[in-house]
A and B are shown apart, each in its own frame.
Chain A
Amino acid sequence: QSALTQPPSASGSPGQSVTISCTGTSSDVGGYNYVSWYQQHPGKAPKLMIYEVSKRPSGVPDRFSGSKSGNSASLTVSGLQAEDEADYYCSSYAGSHNWVFGGGTRLTVL
């Protein structure tokens, strides 16, 4: 199972919006609405930020939003804040009890 494709880096200034893409295939992202996004600060475990393409778990700010079109999904962070600087990973169900992650995107707040 190949990893989903994410840009290695993204950046934005405080208050701006940034969008991170996640590209898969019809066997994973395109085939299921089971896309999620995780935030990982250095030395910490990942944290669930978005599930089922666009839903936010309790406690996640509404500055974080998700969407999907075809074989690609996106995470948008609006109103960037310094604490948003982290690595972000997308994940998708890939059928037959298999899951796949993206390679990760390092978000830098300028």
Chain B
Amino acid sequence: QVQLVQSGAEVKKPGASVKVSCKASGYTFTNYYLHWVRQAPGQGLEWMGLINSNTGDTKFAQKFQGWVTMTRDTSISTAYMELSRLTSDDTAMYYCAKSLGDYASGRVHYFDYWGQGTLVTVSS
């Protein structure tokens, strides 16, 4: 069965960086996009960006360009999201999510499996 297992909760000081991992299993990792979505406490979902798990190409929401990095290690079917220059506004649950369809399908626009979330707390 498809699973996305994320790394554990993090507490960071303002100005620091955080790197969250997302280990995939149960499907061919390189055939699907992995998206990253965050949710501040009590707030809605915010799409951050995606990585083509095959080529490593990335696309980011304009808001995150320049301060988020997304990478992957195909040998261990794991994707990473690193956010730098953290502020208290970055306190949120961070999710990875797999695209419903593979690159050849028309169903790349939907997120069918989600990780359990990684809580990142930014506090001095």
Contacts and interface: CB of A to CB of B under 8 A. Distances in A.
Contact of A104 (B45, B107, B110, B111): B45
Contacts of A98: 47, 59, 61-62
Interface stretch (B24-32, B75-83, B114-122): B114-122
A38 B45 CA distance: 10
Contacts, number: 67
B34 interface: no
Sorting the interface of chain B by its residue count into under 10, 10 to 19, 20 to 34 or 35 or more gives: 20 to 34
A109 to B, nearest CB: 21
B100 A3 contact: no
A91 B53 CA distance: 22
A98 B35 CA distance: 11
B111 A46 contact: yes
Interface string A8-48: 00000000000000000000000010101010000001111
A32 B97 CA distance: 21
Contacts of A91: 45, 47, 110-111
B112 A99 contact: no
Nearest to B46: A101
Interface in B17-71: 35, 37, 44-47, 50, 59, 61-63
A30 to B, nearest CB: 15
A61 B118 CA distance: 29
Contacts of A103: 44
Contacts of A69: none
Interface residues of A, number: 25
A36 B109 contact: yes
Given A34-B110, A46-B45, A47-B114, 4 more contacts: A48-B112, A52-B107, A97-B50, A102-B44
20 contacts: A1-B62, A34-B109, A38-B45, A38-B111, A45-B114, A45-B116, A46-B97, A46-B111, A48-B100, A48-B111, A48-B112, A51-B100, A51-B109, A52-B107, A52-B110, A57-B100, A91-B110, A96-B59, A97-B59, A98-B62
Interface of B: 35, 37, 44-47, 50, 59, 61-63, 95, 97, 100, 106-107, 109-112, 114-117
